[in-house]
Amino acid sequence: MLIFAVFVFYPFARNIYLSMYSTPPFPNLPSQFVGLSQYGQVLVSHNFLNSLWVTALFVVYTVPAGLVLGLLLALLAHQKLRGIRAFRTVFASPVATSVAVASVIFFTLLNPQVGLFTYWLGQQDQLSVLDNPTWALVAVSVVTIWQNVGLAFILMSAGLQAVPDELLEACEIDGAKRWARLRHVILPLLSPTIFFAVVVGTILSLQSFGQIDLLTQGGPLQRTNLLVYNIYDQVFNQNNAGRAAVMAIALFWITLVLALIQIRLLERRVTYAN
Amino acid sequence: MGQVTLRGVSKHYGTVEAVRDFDLKVMDREFLVLLGPSGCGKSTVLRIIAGLEDPDEGTVEIGDRVVNDVEPKDRNIAMVFQNYALYPHMTVHRNIDFPLKCRGMPKPERDGLVAEAAESLGLTPLLDRRPAQLSGGQRQRVALARAIVRRPEVFLMDEPLSNLDAKLRVQTRTELIELQRRLATTVVYVTHDQIEGMTMANRLAVMNEGALEQVAPPSEVYAHPASLFVAQFIGNPPMNTVIGKPARVDGELGIETSGGQIPLTPGQCQAVEASSAESVAVGMRPERITIASSGPLPATVAVVESLGSEHHVICRLADDQEVVVRLGTDVPVPKEGARVHLGFEAGHLHLFDAATGDRIGL
Ligand SMILES: Nc1ncnc2c1ncn2[C@@H]1O[C@H](COP(=O)(O)OP(=O)(O)OP(=O)(O)O)[C@@H](O)[C@H]1O
Ligand SMILES: [Mg+2]
């Protein structure tokens, strides 16, 4: 309880406190109580709205793609084939890779001079995609998807394991073809897992930080300035703890509301009384 | 036509031989029960017929065609699984409808068939429920409805009653038989419950350790078990067996046991001599033994169990072997600890070669 208080409640309260003080432009000047007025300012600022938009795009790019890929790989790995164990390990390995390692791998692959990807794409010696305002967010998303696929794969595999073999055999005898079996039996039975993966995936995506810090630092032109990175940037580079605190609270509410909406929406579709 | 023929079928998992050199012919419209102890390979045989498992060797024929390379859905069979394997997220209606839908049948036609199948099993009021909202017996009937709705030639059932309570099991037994007669289809029914086997089967196929021991009508299996295994597996309380050696006393061939000499009929004597068995297991059904003051086997009454309609008298022979005697309520029951003699008609004895388990004589 004490640990909880120190690491959760205190920062939370402190954050609310901070959000009501405007941070002075120069250090050492006393910060000033401005109450809720700072919220109005920050929440309509271009910087915040841009972050919000970029974050939304990022979630849309990463969550469904990661989920679908994870599901496909899990379906593939679930087949009774020789040597499938090795595949399972390979598919799951991104989870075990830290954000830092993944970022470095992709940073190298995308490097304009020596990167393999740039070589394949025939874009050698041009601007790295990470510096390209149009493609930077996509590139960062790809790294994130690659990272999240492992988790989605593990979740989906566990879900598939839980589908009773007898049901799949009943399908075989009833004459359900591959697609019908997937659509009418496997996916409905997997829906609680998928639902869980969507919620967790969204929260994870909203909190992405490491890959931005290592790959783009929010650039180019703030096109990858995700909320969490922006908060970090405000505190440590712009020295504006007040703004950061407001954004943190905004992020908290966004996450909470999204999760609640998802739970409401999806719960209705996935429950079948047991 | 709905006959099923297995020829030389075998299947192993790793080092386990689940099914060994299996030859079985199930007639059209027959109710055949595959009976055997747990783990003897009954389910494996059924799954091979269904096409859920490929045999290592041998051929499977359904109707007049070899179906080894035919997909389960094209074998014209339906299966009822032990746990029913209902789709939990579908209503009863959709569960029954699913096999028809998968076959691309138009909806009006499907609805008619589903309604008919549901009606015949009394499921009409339950069509909008999901499996979780049904009792075990109702689920079982949904599984049956899903099987019959396609009008398959052959029904395969794997212990379909084992999840029901005792009373419902008895009732459903009768319903299943009536259903089979009404639909005039072939049924291959797997169970480890000998009462189900005895009461439902046209013919019983008794299995042990992956191999067939005997295929015959239930009464025949009971009266003339083909092996020691079948003799001991069928019947409750099980058949008593006493081991002895063929020996002559006063020129008469009998079986000498450490508890006493067992006399034989002339036919049995011939068979024993012909078999050249060194050690013979003598089987006696509990209801064929009488308790008297004189007889070939002296014994002590150890325990008397009363079941209301009958008594089981557990006797101990001189060499400590146990023999159970079943007595009706109309004969006097001996007291525990009493010294008695067990008698029987030689004609009702079953003789087996104790080494191989094969039956000796008829
Ligand atoms: N998928 C499998 N992998 C390995 N061994 C198996 C497999 N399926 C069955 N076996 C083995 O094959 C043998 C026969 O199994 P089977 O399921 O046919 O028995 P059963 O007669 O149906 O038993 P029960 O009455 O308990 O259902 C058993 O020894 C079992 O352990
Ligand atoms: Mg079984």
Q: Do A170 and B50 touch (CB under 8 A)?
A: no
| Pure H helices in chain B | 42-50, 92-102, 107-120, 136-148, 166-183, 194-200, 218-223, 228-233, 266-275
Cα A25 vs. chain centroid, distance in angstroms? 33
Nearest to A54 by CA among A137, A121, A172: A137
Ligand 1 contacts CB of residue B38 (under 6 A)? yes
Mean pLDDT in residue range B124-151: 93
Average pLDDT over residues B258-275: 87
User: B229 is written with which tokens?
Assistant: 């295994």
Return the ∠ at Cα A85 (arms to A84 and A91), rounded to 5°. 90
Residue B32, SS3 per DSSP: strand
* Ligand 1 atom at minimum distance from B47 CA: 18
B206 closest CA partner among B182, B183, B187, B222? B222
Q: Specify the pLDDT at position B77.
A: 94
Residue A274 has pLDDT above 50, yes or no: no
**CA dist A73 → A28, A64, A84, A90, A160 (Å):** 55, 14, 11, 11, 11
Of A103-112, B182-191, B284-293, the one with minimum mean pLDDT is: A103-112
Q: What is the three-class DSSP state of B302? A: strand
Q: pLDDT-derived band of residue A273, with 50, 70 and 90 as boundaries?
A: very low
CB pair distance less than 8 Å for B146 and A188:
no
DSSP-assigned letters across all residues of chain A: -HHHIIIIIHHHHHHHHHHTEEPPSSTTSPPEE-TTHHHHHHHHSHHHHHHHHHHHHHHHHHHHHHHHHHHHHHHHHHS--TTHHHHHHHHHHHHHS-HHHHHHHHHHHT-TTT-HHHHHTT-TTS--GGG-TTTHHHHHHHHHHHHHHHHHHHHHHHHHHTS-HHHHHHHHHHT--HHHHIIIIIHHHHHHHHHHHHHHHHHHHHT--HHHHHHTTT-STTTT--HHHHHHHHHHTS--HHHHHHHHHHHHHHHHHHHHHHHHHHHHHH----
Distance in angstroms (rounded) separating the CA atoms of residues B214 and B228: 11
What is the Å distance from ligand 2's center to B159 Cα? 7
- Is there a contact between B72 and A189 if contact means CB atoms under 8 Å apart? no
Contact criterion met (CB below 8 Å) for B32 and B26: yes
Tokens 């409401």 locate to A264
- Cβ of B148 below 6 Å from ligand 1: no
pLDDT recorded at residue A81: 61
Averaged pLDDT, B251-270: 86
Q: Which residue has the tokens 């009384």?
A: A273
- Is the pLDDT score of B149 beyond 90? yes
- SS3 state at B225: coil
A220 preceded by a cis bond (ω within 30 of 0) = yes
Whole-structure pTM value:
0.82
* Closest CA–CA distance from residue A273 to any residue of chain B (Å): 6
The alpha-carbon gap from A185 to the nearest alpha carbon of chain B, in Å, equals 7
Q: In Å, how far are A191, A265, B130, B264 from A271, measured between CA atoms?
A: 9, 11, 12, 70
Of B299, B272, B282, B277, nearest to B243 by C-alpha is B282
CA separation for the pair B54, B252 (Å, rounded): 54
- Most B-contacting residue of A165, A173, A182, A191 (CB-CB within 10 A), to test interface: A173
CA of B43 to the centre of ligand 2 (A): 4
Mutate to test the pocket of ligand 1, among B20, B43, B48, B79 (most ligand atoms within 8 A of CB): B43
Q: Do A172 and B130 touch (CB under 8 A)?
A: no
User: Does residue B48's CB lie within 6 angstroms of at least one atom of ligand 1?
Assistant: no
Q: Highest mean pLDDT range out of A41-50, A57-66, A225-234? A: A57-66
The predicted-structure confidence for B201-236, as pLDDT tens digits, reads as follows 999 999 999 999 999 999 999 999 999 999 999 998
| pLDDT tens digits for range B271-306 | 988 888 889 999 999 999 999 888 888 899 999 999
Identity of the residue in A170, A172, A274 whose CB atom sits nearest the CB atom of B132: A274
- CA-CA distance, A170 to B258, in Å (whole number)? 56
Residue nearest to atom 11 of ligand 1 (CA): B18
pLDDT of residue B164 exceeding 80 = yes
Q: Which residues are CB-contacts of A201 (< 8 A; sequence separation ≥ 6)?
A: A62, A63, A66, A67, A148, A151, A152
B291 strand-pairing partners: B342
Degrees, nearest 5: CA angle B166-B171-B176:
120
**Residue B39: which region, alpha, beta or left (left: phi > 0; alpha: psi -120 to 50)?**
left
Tell me what pLDDT residue B6 has: 96
Query: Partners of B214 in the beta sheet?
Result: B206
Question: Please, what are the domains in chain B?
Answer: 4-232 (3.40.50.300), 239-353 (2.40.50.140)
Using the predicted structure, report yes or no on whether residue A95 has a pLDDT greater than 70.
Answer: no
CA-nearest residue, atom 22 of ligand 1? B43
> Does residue A20 or residue B168 have the better pLDDT?
B168
Average pLDDT estimate for A59-73: 90
| Digit-coded pLDDT (tens) for B19-50 | 999 999 999 999 999 999 999 999 999 999 99
Predicted local distance difference test score (pLDDT) of residue B239: 94
Q: How many CA atoms lie within 13 A of B38 on its CB side?
A: 1
Place of tokens 């480890």: B192
Q: Which of B48, B53, B73, B134 to mutate to test the interface with A (most CBs of A within 10 A)?
A: B73
Q: Between chains, do B99 and A174 touch, taking CB under 8 Å as contact?
A: yes
B140 lines ligand 1 (CB under 6 A): no
Residues B260, B337: Cα–Cα separation, whole Å: 19
Ligand 1 pocket, residue B44 CB under 6 Å: yes
Q: Say yes or no to pLDDT of A215 above 90.
A: no
pLDDT of the residue at A113? 62
B15 in contact with ligand 1, CB cutoff 6 A:
no
Say yes or no to pLDDT of B134 above 70.
yes
The tokens describing B199, both together, are: 């009461």
Share of chain A above pLDDT 70, in %: 72
Tokens of residue A123, six digits: 């874009």
Could you tell me the domains of chain A?
Answer: 46-229+247-269 (1.10.3720.10)
DSSP secondary structure of B173-220: HHHHHHHHHHHT-EEEEEES-HHHHHHH-SEEEEEETTEEEEEE-HHH
ipTM tops the 0.85 cut: no
Closest residue CA from atom 14 of ligand 1: B41
